[in-house]
Structure 1
Amino acid sequence: MHGCGNDFVLIDNISEKIKEVDFPAIAKNLCDRKKGIGADGIIFMDIDSTCDIKMNFYNSDGSRGEMCGNGVRCLARFAYHVLNLPKLNILTDAGIVKTERIDETKYKILLNNPSIEDYNCSINYKGVNYTGSYIELGEPGIPHFCLEFDFENTNIDELYKFAEFLRHNSKFPKGANINFFKLTGQNNVDELTYERGVEDFTLSCGTGTGCVAVSLFKNKLINSNTLNAKTPGGDLTIELEFKSNNIKNIYLIGETEIVFHGNY
């Protein structure tokens, strides 16, 4: 499946009962785009006594991820087909995520709120200081560094080097997903993400888009509760809910697509 081009292999582990110790190796094998199926990550759907289902999420390099916004949207649709549940509470390593089926392809999820926030994070690269926002969603948090940057007019080789430098920067002890964005209107952005664990640019990033929206609101660069993000893989929408002018809820909305079913 994919959510705006962010693609995943999904396995019904309620039926398959694969041992967790084997998850990393399976992730590396199946996500290999040359020798396997090919994906940004893999999701094992398991049962859990505290929630409707549990999400075991692994990146393509075999590392375990705290959570993945686009992955949760795909998992919600997958669970609807398997379990016929239009609304779910999904247990992830970053906390419980609530999901809702809007229609056959569109799903809405409640992202975890920020646990760590730095809206004035400055990093020096080749003698230039770049200031962005470091945000972790959930606890333990998914790390993101959001930077307003003209990525569309930057040489691709230099963009890779810059993204890799930021992703591994010592200011980020867990590493970070790098979310470049460019404002194209009052509540619209173009966005490009370099993902930790994939170690490459991906076609979209759900949690990253949520962090971009939070960063823009905190820095008073948007005046609406809605942000529309154009990514290389499609369009994502973030809706913010407020309480006493503070962010209470962050919703991610977007399309999901089933590419194929198969046996491996």
Structure 2
Amino acid sequence: MHTAAKVLLIIGTIATVIGIVGFALGAGQVDDLEDSWNTFEFEDATNGTIMIEDVDGKGDAGLTFWVKGVYEDKDEDGTWDVCQNTEVTITESPDVNNSWEWAGLLDGNFYYEVQANQQCDANDRNTNYDRDGKGLVKIGRACWGCYEGNVSFESNQSVWVTYDEKVGEKLGDDIGIMILGFVGGFGSICCGVLFLIIGGIMALTMKDNKDQGMMYMPPAGNQMLSAQTPAVTPNQTHMSQPDFGKPPQGGL
């Protein structure tokens, strides 16, 4: 298999696995959203104390009170019965930011509210079933615009209390992680699949590196140069013919 194809297949596999993990992370946050939404400072309580943090020092949105029940007006006096049957008293609260509308007038105390500016008026538009899964209905709020400090309450019947800004922060974190998981996971899977497809095509169509030999390029004009072997001239030896006409002279 060609080296480039191997690299693409490896990258594609890793990216796909990362994408699957990201999707799993995003899916896991869906359950965390419900848990964060149903975070209560007190459950089924008739009294308690909650610390208001007011991180920015500009005042806090405060607390919301819920009770078991339904919105109905059996005596038809124009007020929800659950509100009439529940009395909440704030026994301790920090100072408030008077620049907030109504904060100075309320002074951290409990006030009945189902929907904004409708108090506990019995009408179809004035209902809140945000936590209907737990059988709870909203009856009011407290500590609107409070600075940092303790809030203590007492109630004539069991209430559930949520710290609104804390719930909002948890939801924001969970939503951010969920979006990051889904978007990042989807993008990673898309890239991984693309790399796998390209790598697969290259693996099927490209030859292995070791199968690619060196190609011979003929010289220009397609003319082969012939090797010339130099001619070797043999050495000639000249021998003189002996002369038998005259015998050698000399002697005794």
TM-score w.r.t. structure 2 length? 0.20
> Per chain length, whose mean CA-contact separation is higher, i.e. which structure has more relative contact order (CA < 8 Å, sep 6+)?
2
TM-score w.r.t. structure 1 length? 0.20
Instruction: From the CA coordinates, give the structure whose radius of gyration is larger.
Output: 2
Question: Which structure carries more strand by proportion?
Answer: 1
Question: Which structure carries more helix by proportion?
Answer: 2
